[in-house]
Every structure is written in structure tokens, then in C-alpha cells.
């Protein structure tokens, strides 16, 4: 494919035709903030945080959905661009809980990062706020739609998994919300908890329940591990805190390949600390028992003894 020559922040660069301004900037080492852009599912263009200034253009185009064209002169940090990004962040924060202190995504939240980067301390706009109940109905994923910024990454990621598309946008206008069909809790939907949606969520709307309270983002080291439960060989991340694995999470997903719950929980069982004693459910409660009892050996021995009599 032929190359196009353009200028980004005064740097002359050359990229293959069809490259977005965002990717052209990245190739030149220029950072542009994004919220809705997903390399695996590009071309959404919803959040507008990636706007840039293009000489001669009437408005500020979103760089993730605008093709780099020969002769373009692009500025990624002009006063107009910074002002636009600050306004977008203020609008997002106007309807977002300010509970960073206790949010599980503290330290791993793009909204928080960009608010810091662009010095947005206050929401800037006052108005109605959502007060959705947190969907805690399943054992694996916590959904707090009050924190959702409608970037749609979870929707597109779920749709990319063959036979899924559990999530979509529901309702309209201010009430637009990401939800399973008929807005039922996740536990009542077709969700299989592969958690690819959690892996791509840039804010605290989707979080792993098993990692709640187990460590801050900056305390956790991630190490990739290949699942061996089937031939797909998916990649997961071991989450390690002070030398101990505290959980297993879905790595940033590859297109079209699900990361199944069996793999994630199986690896968790392999790598995290397990109870020292086996447990059996008795009278509705799990109680610690001996290995012989857990494996049914006691019952077998009793039966053999009975046969000998
Ligand atoms: Fe480009 Fe959201 S990242 S519009």
C-alpha cells in the first residue's frame, strides 16, 4: 500500500495509506488520549477524547476514526484540543461517582489518569446523576453502571465473541445504559463470565469480584500465563502481590477468541493459595474434613469391612 506523508506536531512522518491519525501519531511516538478506542475493534469514535486539530479543517476530528491524508498538518496538543478534551472530561465527571478512594480501579482508570493529566478537578457541570443499583448478582463480575462512560468497548468485545453479544446499549439519551437484553442482571443473561469485558473496561464500571479488596493496581504485578485446559491456549494474567498470586484475570483479548471461565478459574485453582484442608458440604455448610473422607476412602473402607464380615 502506498505511503502518505503528513506532519504531526511539526514532525514529518510517513505512514501507509488508510492509517488513522491516531495510529500515525503513535508510530511517531506522539501520545493521544483515548477512551473508546479499542485496537481489536477499531472505528467506533464515540468519546471524542482523541480529537486533534487539522490545519484547514472546520472542526476537531476524532483521530481514531479519521484517516491520515497526504499533506495533512496535525496538532495534537493545541489550546483548542486541550480545551475540548477538558470539556469532555468535565462532562463525563458530571455524571460519575467521585469515589476514587475506594474504587477497585483506582490507579488503573483512564478517566482518573486523564483528569489528572488535564487538571480537571471539578465536574464543571451540575445536573442529574444516575443512581443505579450495583449488579452483584453473579459470583464473578461486579457491574456498577453509575461508573460507565458508555465507551462501548465491552459491547464490541462481547459481540466479537462468536455466539455471544450479551451486552448492548439500552434506552436513550441521558438514560442510555449498557445492559444485557431486557436489562436483566448479568446472572439472568447468557453471559458466561469470560470477563473479556472486564479486561477492556477503562473505568470502574466492570470489576472482578474475586479481586475486590486484594490489592491496589500499583501493588499488583501481572505475569502472562498460557492456559493448558484446551487446545486454544488462551493467555491469562497472573496477578501477583508481594510474591503471591491473588487472582487470575483475562489478558487484553485477541479478536474472536473467548477466554473461558473454566480456564480462568482452573488457573486460579492452580496458582492461588488453596485451603489446606478439603471441605465437604454437610447440612448446607462447608466443613473441613480429612482427605480420606473427601475422597470417599472412609466409606469404601467401611464397605470392604462390611463385606469381610
Ligand atoms: Fe477516538 Fe473515543 S478514542 S473517539
Q: Is the pLDDT of residue 275 over 90?
A: no
Per-residue model confidence as pLDDT tens digits over 296-305: 888 888 888 8
Rounded mean pLDDT, 92-104: 93
Are 75 and 84 in contact, with CB atoms under 8 Å apart?
no
Is the CB of 45 inside a 6 Å radius of any atom of ligand 1?
A: yes
CA pair distance 156, 126, nearest whole angstrom: 31
Q: How confident is the model at residue 160 (pLDDT cuts 50, 70, 90)?
A: confident
* Spacing, Cα 39 to ligand 1 middle (Å): 11
Average model confidence (pLDDT) across the chain: 91
Q: What is the pLDDT of residue 234?
A: 84
Q: Is the pLDDT of residue 159 over 50?
A: yes
CA pair distance 116, 134, nearest whole angstrom: 26
Rounded mean pLDDT, 205-220: 93
Ligand 1 atom nearest to CA at 36: 2
Which of 23, 31, 36, 111 has most ligand 1 atoms within 8 Å of its beta carbon, as the pocket-test mutant? 36
**Alpha-carbon torsion, ordered 176, 177, 178, 181, to 10 deg:** -90
Rounded mean pLDDT, 259-275: 81
Ligand 1 atom nearest to CA at 47: 2
Is the CB of 37 inside a 6 Å radius of any atom of ligand 1?
A: yes
Is the CB of 64 inside a 6 Å radius of any atom of ligand 1?
A: yes
Is the CB of 50 inside a 6 Å radius of any atom of ligand 1?
A: yes
Are 104 and 98 in contact, with CB atoms under 8 Å apart?
no
Q: How confident is the model at residue 276 (pLDDT cuts 50, 70, 90)?
A: confident
Percentage of residues in the chain with pLDDT exceeding 70?
96
CB neighbour class for 35 (10 Å; exposed up to 12, middle 13-18, buried from 19): buried
Q: How confident is the model at residue 208 (pLDDT cuts 50, 70, 90)?
A: very high
Lowest mean pLDDT, pick from 6-15, 85-94, 122-131: 122-131
Which of 42, 49, 89, 113 has most ligand 1 atoms within 8 Å of its beta carbon, as the pocket-test mutant? 49
Ligand 1 atom nearest to CA at 151: 2
Domains by residue range for the chain, with CATH:
3-77 (3.10.20.740)
Which of 25, 26, 33, 37 has most ligand 1 atoms within 8 Å of its beta carbon, as the pocket-test mutant? 37
Q: Is the pLDDT of residue 255 over 50?
A: no
Q: Is the pLDDT of residue 162 over 90?
A: no
Q: What is the pLDDT of residue 253?
A: 55
CB neighbour class for 209 (10 Å; exposed up to 12, middle 13-18, buried from 19): middle
Q: Is the pLDDT of residue 254 over 60?
A: no
* Spacing, Cα 86 to ligand 1 middle (Å): 14
Q: What is the pLDDT of residue 111?
A: 97
Rounded mean pLDDT, 209-224: 93
Q: What is the pLDDT of residue 250?
A: 81
Is the CB of 47 inside a 6 Å radius of any atom of ligand 1?
A: yes
Closest alpha carbon to 68 in 151, 12, 139: 12
Q: Is the pLDDT of residue 273 over 80?
A: no
Is the CB of 51 inside a 6 Å radius of any atom of ligand 1?
A: no
Q: What is the pLDDT of residue 142?
A: 96
Amino acid at each position: 500500500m502506498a505511503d502518505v506523508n503528513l506532519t504531526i506536531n511539526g514532525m514529518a512522518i510517513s505512514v501507509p495509506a488508510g492509517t488513522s491519525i491516531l495510529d500515525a501519531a503513535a508510530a511517531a511516538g506522539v501520545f493521544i488520549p483515548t477512551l473508546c478506542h479499542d485496537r481489536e475493534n477499531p472505528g467506533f469514535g464515540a468519546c471524542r477524547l482523541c480529537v486533534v486539530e487539522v490545519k484547514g479543517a472546520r472542526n476537531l476530528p476524532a483521530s481514531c476514526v479519521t484517516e491520515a491524508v497526504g499533506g495533512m498538518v496535525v496538532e495534537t496538543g493545541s489550546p483548542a484540543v486541550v480545551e475540548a478534551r477538558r470539556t469532555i472530561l468535565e462532562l463525563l465527571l458530571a455524571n460519575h461517582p467521585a469515589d476514587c478512594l475506594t474504587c477497585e480501579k483506582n490507579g488503573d482508570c483512564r478517566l482518573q489518569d486523564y483528569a489528572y493529566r488535564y487538571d480537571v478537578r471539578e465536574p464543571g457541570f451540575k445536573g442529574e446523576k444516575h443512581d443505579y443499583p450495583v449488579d452483584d448478582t453473579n459470583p464473578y463480575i461486579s457491574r456498577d453502571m453509575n461508573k460507565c462512560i458508555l465507551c462501548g468497548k465491552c459491547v464490541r468485545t462481547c459481540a466479537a465473541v462468536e455466539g455471544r453479544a450479551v451486552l448492548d446499549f439500552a434506552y436513550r439519551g441521558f438514560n442510555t445504559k449498557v445492559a444485557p437484553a431486557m436489562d436483566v442482571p448479568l446472572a439472568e443473561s447468557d453471559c458466561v463470565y469470560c470477563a473479556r469485558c472486564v479486561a477492556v473496561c477503562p473505568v470502574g464500571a466492570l470489576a472482578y469480584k474475586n479481586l475486590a479488596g486484594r490489592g491496589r493496581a500499583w501493588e499488583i504485578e501481572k505475569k502472562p500465563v498460557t492456559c493448558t485446559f484446551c487446545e486454544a491456549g488462551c493467555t491469562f494474567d497472573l496477578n501477583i502481590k508481594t510474591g503471591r498470586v491473588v487472582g487470575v484475570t483475562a489478558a487484553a483479548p485477541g479478536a474472536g477468541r473467548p477466554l473461558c471461565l473454566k480456564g480462568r478459574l482452573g488457573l486460579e485453582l492452580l496458582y492461588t493459595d488453596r485451603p489446606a484442608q478439603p471441605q465437604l458440604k454437610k447440612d448446607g455448610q462447608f466443613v473441613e474434613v480429612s482427605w480420606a473422607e473427601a475422597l470417599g476412602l472412609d466409606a469404601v473402607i467401611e464397605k470392604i469391612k462390611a463385606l469381610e464380615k
